């Protein structure tokens, strides 16, 4: 019998191995970090624009709490269904493990079971202790849903290898033994898939860059859409001393810096704004305040010439 035939074991001979605890914990940490990041991203993004709408009067404060409650429910549902794709969350997929039925390791549990086993993740300290101390290393959710976590990457590599060897066998049968050298080259080119660390790192960097970009855009938009900022830039355009130094103001810096706080009709704002004119550029420091629900007023206005 040909050597390649001896490697082509039937699928029924494959035995799933349980995922080691360190991989399960690693997958949990990856998922937790991703969800925490997404949660902070969404809440931060919404908070910035909700804050802008609140202070401009286009949205009522009473709407904010129910909206965030619905958002939290949506996030909890997403967390509960995180294994919905072939029994693998992002963390499990990266580490090559996945959820399978105890009675049939080849079958992915139905969505109802995948969700059921995640309900108890809310009690993650207890789940963690049960996972570590139980003899079969199964958490409460797995016991109730009749599931467990297995090494899926080994199975996927087995399938890939089996299909590869079947292809080699077909070529040998069809074309004869004169191409044995080329068959050997094809066989030697097979390599099991490995964990692509570089791809994950690059993806993480891109996500962080996107998060920072959106955050900067949100903060900038919050400043630029606020009445106090409008008053500040109008005052800069109308200031005769600034116009005498740099000419007519043509543009302002891309990202204004400063602070802004409002509460019950009171507010304080500090802005540092770069103003560019036809003949030069200045940096302007503006301090404003609002009292008793009235209009914003400038309390301090200074500038320095940059060029």
**pLDDT one-digit tens code per residue, 169-178:** 776 666 554 4
| 196-222 pLDDT, tens digit each | 556 666 766 776 677 677 667 766 777
Q: Which of 168, 184, 218 is the last residue of a domain?
A: 218
* Cβ within 8 Å of residue 41, ≥6 positions away: 211, 214
Structural domain harbouring 35? 1-218
Q: Are residues 194 and 118 in the same domain?
A: yes
Q: Are residues 168 and 205 in the same domain?
A: yes
Q: For all residues of the chain together, what is the average pLDDT?
A: 76
Tell me: pLDDT of 59 over 50: no
Q: Are residues 231 and 104 in the same domain?
A: no
Q: Are residues 201 and 63 in the same domain?
A: yes
Q: Which of 218, 248, 277 is the last residue of a domain?
A: 218
Tell me: pLDDT of 4 over 50: no
| 62-77 pLDDT, tens digit each | 555 676 677 778 777 8
For the chain, what is the domain count? 2
Q: Are residues 163 and 284 in the same domain?
A: no
Given a contact cutoff of 8 angstroms between Cβ atoms, the answer to whether 97 and 143 are in contact is: no
Q: Are residues 55 and 164 in the same domain?
A: yes
Q: Are residues 196 and 234 in the same domain?
A: no
Q: Are residues 116 and 198 in the same domain?
A: yes
pLDDT computed for residue 229 by the predictor: 87
Q: Are residues 120 and 232 in the same domain?
A: no
| 219-263 pLDDT, tens digit each | 677 777 788 888 988 998 889 898 888 888 888 877 777 888 777
Q: How far apart are CA 163 and CA 302, in angstroms?
A: 74
Q: Are residues 74 and 179 in the same domain?
A: yes
Q: Are residues 43 and 153 in the same domain?
A: yes
Q: Are residues 243 and 148 in the same domain?
A: no
């Amino acid at each position: 019998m040909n050597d390649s035939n001896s490697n082509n074991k039937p699928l029924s001979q494959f035995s799933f191995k349980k995922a080691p605890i360190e991989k399960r914990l690693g997958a949990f940490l990856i998922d937790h970090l991703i969800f925490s990041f997404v949660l902070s991203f969404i809440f931060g993004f919404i908070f910035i624009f909700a804050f802008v709408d609140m202070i401009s009067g286009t949205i009522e404060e009473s709407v904010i709490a129910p909206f965030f409650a619905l958002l939290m429910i949506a996030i909890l549902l997403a967390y509960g269904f995180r294994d919905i794709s072939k029994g693998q969350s992002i963390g499990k997929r990266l580490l090559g493990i996945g959820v399978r039925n105890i009675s049939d390791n080849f079958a992915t549990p139905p969505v109802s079971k995948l969700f059921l086993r995640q309900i108890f993740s809310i009690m993650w300290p207890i789940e963690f202790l049960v996972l570590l101390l139980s003899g079969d290393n199964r958490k409460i959710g797995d016991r109730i849903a009749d599931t467990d976590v297995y090494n899926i990457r080994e199975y996927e590599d087995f399938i890939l290898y089996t299909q590869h060897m079947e292809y080699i066998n077909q070529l040998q049968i069809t074309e004869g033994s004169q191409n044995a050298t080329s068959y050997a080259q094809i066989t030697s080119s097979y390599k099991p898939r490995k964990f692509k660390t570089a791809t994950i790192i690059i993806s993480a960097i891109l996500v962080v860059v996107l998060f920072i970009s959106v955050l900067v855009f949100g903060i900038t938009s919050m400043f630029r859409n606020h009445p106090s900022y409008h008053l500040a830039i109008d005052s800069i355009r109308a200031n005769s001393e600034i116009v005498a130094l740099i000419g007519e103001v043509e543009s302002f810096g891309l990202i204004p810096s400063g602070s802004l706080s409002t509460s019950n009709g009171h507010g304080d704002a500090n802005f540092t704004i770069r103003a560019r004119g036809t003949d030069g550029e200045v940096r302007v420091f503006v301090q404003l305040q609002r009292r008793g629900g009235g209009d914003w007023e400038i309390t301090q206005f200074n500038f320095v010439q940059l060029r």
